[in-house]
Amino acid sequence: MDSNLKAKLIAGVREREKGYSDHPADKGGPTMDGVTQATARRYGYQGDMRDIPSTLIDQIYADLYWQPLNLDEFSTLSEDLTVVLFDFGVNSGTGRAAKDLQRALNVLNRRGADYPDIVADGAIGPKTMASVSAFAAKRGDEGVEMLADIVNGMRLSFLVELSERDESQEAFTFGWLRRVIHLLWA
């Protein structure tokens, strides 16, 4: 595990989320550095979201987004893939991020010649990690970086579809797409 990368990515998400927000179209309600009030309440925080301790925000990001995506293992394989999965998980849910990774792995296995298909269930477990390892062994660093781009592209498509389904989300569409497109440029 690369704890420096974990701290760097949490700080990066917090910077992109930029402090306090309570936009009327945001279904998450009041947030601080991207953490919703409902999530803070589940962690026992009862104060104003503007005053939530930084250490609690960092803990929430580690517990709810880093751990479920098994990013300790990804961080030793590829920083770009780790960045993509973490940011995707934060903004669209870890299940969606994991499921899109699994879907991509399934179409890249050459009909099972390189590794078997896996169930796209949105949970990163031993079978998903075995597929990632097999893909990396077959395609090398270039393939893993391409996998990060593919998952990022799937995320872009999801965000467009989200705004198509719910016009109230169009208030955020440009910013969302800019964030994802620029994610690996930072």
Render pLDDT for 67-95 as a digit per residue (tens, 0 to 9).
999 999 999 999 999 999 999 999 999 99
The whole-number pLDDT of residue 23 equals: 86
Q: Show which of 28, 43, 67 is a domain's final residue.
A: 67
Q: Show the DSSP H helices in 44-184 as ranges.
A: 54-61, 71-77, 79-92, 94-107, 126-165, 170-182
Q: Is the pLDDT of residue 3 over 80?
A: no
Q: Is the pLDDT of residue 180 over 80?
A: yes
pLDDT in tens, 44-56: 999 999 999 999 9
Domain containing residue 16:
1-67
The whole-number pLDDT of residue 83 equals: 96
Amino acid sitting at position 178 = R
pLDDT in tens, 149-173: 999 999 999 999 999 999 999 999 9
* 2 is a domain residue: yes
Phi, psi at 110, each rounded to 5°: 55, 55
Q: Quote the CA–CA distance of 69 and 124 in Å, as a whole number.
A: 6
Phi, psi at 36, each rounded to 5°: -75, 160
My answer on whether 115 and 183 are in the same domain is yes
pLDDT in tens, 100-152: 999 999 999 999 999 999 999 999 999 999 999 999 999 999 999 999 999 99
My answer on whether 107 and 128 are in the same domain is yes
Q: Is the pLDDT of residue 186 over 80?
A: no
Amino acid sitting at position 130 = A
My answer on whether 7 and 54 are in the same domain is yes
3-state secondary structure of 86: helix
Inter-residue contact 84 to 110 (CB < 8 Å): no
> Please, what is the average pLDDT of the chain?
95
Q: Show which of 67, 88, 104 is a domain's final residue.
A: 67
The whole-number pLDDT of residue 27 equals: 80
Q: Is the pLDDT of residue 29 over 80?
A: yes
The whole-number pLDDT of residue 28 equals: 79
My answer on whether 3 and 55 are in the same domain is yes
* 162 is a domain residue: yes
Nearest to 65 by CA among 83, 51, 80: 83
60 CA to centre of own chain = 14
